């Protein structure tokens, strides 16, 4: 259906700018197209900015979960003309086949501490300061890491 409308390429390129609530529907439409969507997804992968690269890679993983596109990725790798394109296509080769899902908003745990004896351990997550703190850092105040404490004890 999308080929008849000429919308496959437009959908793949929408991954480069669309906001989170719309991405899952765009990926679902591309995945429903099957193996023919691999070409436009690879084109989008090569055009993606570093910030949007994970979005396109998750879409490739979703397509891999639906159909085998290893041959199409291999052909794109052989046809790639520069090192940067090959590196991105290698990332597409290595991405796991999994349904498309938005990443969680929580940062990964970088440090876990043990609570005092007799208490359950608490996870301490280190995260970047919000934009307001970055603005303050530019105006001379010290930029520090914010600690966010997640305590598993019931309230």
Domain boundaries, the chain: 2-94, 111-151
Q: How far is CA 83 from the centre of its chain?
A: 22
What pLDDT is stored for residue 14 in this prediction?
87
d(CA 72, CA 84): 18
What pLDDT is stored for residue 33 in this prediction?
87
Which residues touch 70 (CB under 8 Å, ≥6 apart)?
Answer: 93
What pLDDT is stored for residue 13 in this prediction?
87
What pLDDT is stored for residue 131 in this prediction?
53
Q: How far is CA 54 from the centre of its chain?
A: 3
What pLDDT is stored for residue 46 in this prediction?
93
* Interstrand relation of 146-151 and 122-127 (parallel, antiparallel or unpaired): antiparallel
d(CA 13, CA 20): 14
If you search the block for the tokens 């193996």, which residue do you land on? Answer: 35
How does pLDDT run along the chain (155 residues), one tens digit per residue? 555 556 888 888 888 898 888 888 888 989 888 888 899 999 999 999 999 999 999 999 999 998 999 999 999 999 999 999 999 999 999 998 888 877 655 444 444 444 444 444 444 444 444 555 444 444 444 433 333 344 444 44
What pLDDT is stored for residue 50 in this prediction?
92
pTM, 2 dp: 0.61
């Amino acid at each position: 259906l999308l080929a008849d409308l000429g919308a496959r390429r437009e959908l793949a390129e929408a991954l480069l700018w669309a906001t989170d609530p719309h991405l899952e529907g765009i990926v679902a439409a591309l995945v429903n197209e099957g193996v023919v969507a691999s070409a436009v997804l690879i084109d989008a992968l090569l055009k993606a900015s570093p910030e949007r690269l994970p979005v396109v890679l998750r879409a490739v993983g979703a397509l891999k979960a639906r159909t085998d596109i290893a041959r199409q990725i291999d052909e794109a790798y052989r046809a790639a003309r520069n090192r940067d394109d090959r590196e991105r296509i290698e990332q597409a080769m290595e991405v796991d086949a999994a349904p498309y899902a938005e990443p969680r908003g929580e940062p990964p745990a970088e440090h876990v501490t043990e609570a005092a004896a007799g208490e359950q351990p608490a996870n301490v997550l280190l995260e970047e300061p919000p934009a307001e703190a970055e603005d303050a850092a530019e105006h001379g105040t010290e930029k520090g890491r914010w600690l966010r404490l997640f305590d598993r004890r019931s309230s």
